């Protein structure tokens, strides 16, 4: 009696004789891959491309997305994989593509989207914030593992690459870290520890004499305070770092050619210095050239942070920053930096423009 060899396939059982009938002379049994080994290989592959090693618990979709951005050149105010992106464009693009999460579009404003994370508790996917000596956030990155992070670097227009937190430059510039709120699985008590509180208060976990962290004013309290001080109603999505910077200039007297907080400032100096201090955006101090740094908008589309130019003859008597409710803030010759309703301005609007990187 002849023995028949049976092979199990996805479609059922096949005998050797039946396989011969279909032209399969030397069948090779299908070997099921070990899922653990497949995953390990994926983590090893991404680890090599990103210059680190992974535990094997990180989100592979996130790693795959980050790898797909590698080599994208740096381009200010852009977020286009393979063509050009700035640091916040890279971070926001990754989280939108992987999780469908919309983050604020500037480095400094992104703090409202995250909960604070201590450096020794960093996990893959946490967002790193870097600041200058004045404490103004100017750069963001995505943490990977073992102090390695991915970001879009401006130097030499390299673009998206990886670097190490322990390098001299980034070790000094590192300001704080946060976990995207909707992805934070920690306790509710930790969820309340908002990074924006650290940034707004201008300290890094400063402790009082009793060794306990100072109580932080909530984000809502700041919007409420600024709404009262500026005489407008803010939505709660405006960049708090910019609001804080503008607020700190209120009352600074007008003085042509100067841009010194509390001492004197003219209109171009006020606008350019606010954005430089708050979000590292450089605008020309010359009005006509400043307009070229902006994207033209219309009065019914004005949003927080837009710049409004009023012209009389060949001069610009008013150049201000739009707040909300039809009001702008600008340096008045007689009263210094103040808020004015656009309805009460007797000059004609010459130009209104948005800073491309500020996408609210």
Indicate the domain borders of the chain. 51-201, 234-354
Query: How high is the pLDDT of residue 25?
Result: 52
pTM flag (> 0.85):
no
* pLDDT of amino acid 308: 98
What is the pLDDT at residue 187? Answer: 62
Mean pLDDT over 321-336 rounds to 96
Q: Residue 109's pLDDT is what?
A: 80
pLDDT(288) > 90: yes
Residue 333 above 80 pLDDT?
Answer: yes
Read off the pLDDT of each residue in 97-110 and give the average, rounded to a whole number: 89
| Beta carbons of 111 and 199 less than 8 angstroms apart | yes
Rounded to whole angstroms, the Cα distance separating 218 from 175 reads 20
Q: What mean pLDDT is reported for the chain? A: 83
From the list 101, 149, 145, 100, the residue with the least C-alpha distance to 129 is 149
pLDDT at position 208 is 39
For domain 51-201, which architecture applies? Alpha-Beta Complex (3.90)
Q: What is the pLDDT of residue 190?
A: 52
Chain centre distance of CA 112 = 10
E strand or H helix at 350, and its extent? strand 348-354
Q: How confident is the model at residue 27 (pLDDT cuts 50, 70, 90)?
A: low
pLDDT band at 215 (very low <50, low <70, confident <90, very high): very low
pLDDT (0 to 100) of residue 256: 94
Q: Looking at per-residue confidence, does 151 or 37 come out higher? A: 151
Structure tokens at 24: 């399969």
Give mean pLDDT, residues 262-277.
93
Q: Structurally, what CATH architecture does the domain formed by 234-354 represent?
A: Alpha-Beta Complex (3.90)
């Amino acid at each position: 009696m002849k023995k028949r060899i049976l092979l199990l396939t996805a479609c059922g059982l096949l005998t050797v004789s039946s396989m011969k009938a279909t032209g399969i002379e030397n069948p090779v049994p299908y070997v099921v891959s070990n899922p653990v080994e497949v995953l390990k290989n994926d983590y090893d592959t991404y680890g090599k491309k990103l210059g680190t090693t992974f535990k094997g618990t990180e989100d592979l979709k996130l790693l795959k997305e980050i790898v797909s951005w590698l080599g994208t050149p740096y381009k200010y105010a852009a977020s286009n994989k393979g063509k050009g992106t700035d640091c916040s464009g890279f971070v926001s693009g990754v989280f939108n593509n992987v999780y469908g999460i919309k983050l604020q579009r500037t480095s400094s404003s992104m703090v409202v989207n995250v909960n604070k994370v201590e450096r020794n508790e960093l996990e893959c996917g946490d967002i790193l914030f870097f600041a200058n000596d004045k404490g103004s956030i100017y750069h963001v990155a995505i943490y990977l593992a073992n102090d390695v992070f991915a970001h879009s670097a401006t130097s030499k227009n390299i673009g998206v690459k990886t670097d190490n937190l322990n390098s001299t430059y980034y070790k000094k510039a590192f300001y704080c870290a946060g976990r995207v709120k909707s992805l934070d699985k920690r306790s509710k008590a930790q969820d309340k520890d908002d990074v924006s509180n650290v940034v707004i208060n201008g300290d890094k976990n400063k402790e009082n004499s009793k060794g306990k962290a100072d109580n932080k004013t909530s984000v809502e309290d700041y919007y409420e305070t600024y709404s009262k001080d500026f005489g407008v109603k803010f939505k709660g999505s405006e960049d708090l770092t910019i609001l804080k910077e503008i607020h700190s200039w209120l009352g600074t007297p007008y003085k042509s050619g100067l841009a010194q907080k509390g001492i004197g400032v003219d209109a171009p100096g006020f606008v350019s210095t606010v954005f430089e201090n708050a979000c590292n955006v450089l605008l020309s101090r010359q009005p006509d050239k400043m307009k070229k740094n902006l994207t033209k908008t219309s009065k019914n589309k004005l949003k927080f942070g837009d710049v409004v130019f009023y012209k009389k003859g060949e001069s610009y008597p008013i150049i201000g920053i739009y707040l909300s409710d039809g009001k702008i803030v600008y340096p008045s010759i007689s009263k210094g930096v103040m808020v004015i309703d656009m309805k009460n301005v007797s000059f004609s609007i010459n130009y209104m423009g948005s800073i491309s990187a500020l996408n609210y």
